[in-house]
Amino acid sequence: RKEVEQDPGPFNVPEGATVAFNCTYSNSASQSFFWYRQDCRKEPKLLMSVYSSGNEDGRFTAQLNRASQYISLLIRDSKLSDSATYLCVVTAHEKLTFGTGTRLTIIP
Amino acid sequence: ETGVTQSPTHLIKTRGQQVTLRCSSQSGHNTVSWYQQALGQGPQFIFQYYREEENGRGNFPPRFSGLQFPNYSSELNVNALELDDSALYLCASRPIGEGTEAFFGQGTRLTVV
């Protein structure tokens, strides 16, 4: 079993729709959680950290369920510029473990 | 721009050769980690350096080795290259501490033929 699992997609979603990604992790000692975004042939960039209380940044909402070892990302009112691969990242003892990534394409 | 720079950006090597990839970390960041990203996969952790010492390693064989210098820049060395080593190699720097943001360089795309 992979340490961090994501649905690889692809998700093809019309502009303006809401889309949700899920991620599960296996290491119960995991301490920090993130969503990174990676554009085609570019480096990953931090989208947002994920906190137990849930957090929101504009159109993006992240949730963490430590009991179920589950992380989610919700994108509302999706834009063409949201097309990218979204990577779920979990850290334990300062080691970052990435999921495979979920590929999202927003369709005009 | 993250302030993390990698060189070279692209490289073609022959199976069996050795390669050295370089990374300059962002100012003030004392921790550098290296990742291998195969096509269609997420980055896989190779190892991490903090103050010139390796302080974490993923499931990579010993022919993957590294260094960190006093200015916190770093090198990744791969010996006896194999075809499966073809990938994007990413370097990330951050301040030490759990939960700190990692900033990535643009990567080195290595092709082994």
For the segment A16-60, what is each residue's pLDDT rounded down to a tens digit? 999 999 999 999 989 899 999 999 989 999 999 998 888 999 999
Torsion angle defined by CA atoms of residues B33, B38, B43 and B44, in that order, rounded to the nearest 10 degrees: -70
pLDDT at residue A98 tops 90: yes
Mean pLDDT of B70-80: 96
Residue of A nearest to B41 (CA): A100
Window 55-94 of A, Cβ < 8 Å to B = 87, 91, 93-94
Alpha-carbon distance A82 to B74, whole Å?
A: 33
In this complex, how many residue pairs, one in chain A and one in chain B, have their CB atoms less than 8 Å apart? Answer: 59
* SS3 of chain A: helix, strand, coil, percent, to 5: 5, 55, 40
User: What are phi and psi for residue B112, nearest 5 degrees?
Assistant: -110, 125
Partner residue facing B41 (CB), from A91, A94, A100: A100
Interface test with A, best of B26, B41, B51, B93 (most A CBs within 10 A): B41
pLDDT at residue B64 tops 80: yes
Q: What local confidence, expressed as pLDDT, does residue B2 receive?
A: 63
Here the tokens at position A102 are 């979920």
Mean pLDDT of B19-37: 93
Of A41, A27, A14, A20, the C-alpha closest to A97 is A27
Read off the pLDDT band of B84 (50, 70, 90).
Answer: very high
Read off the pLDDT band of A77 (50, 70, 90).
Answer: very high
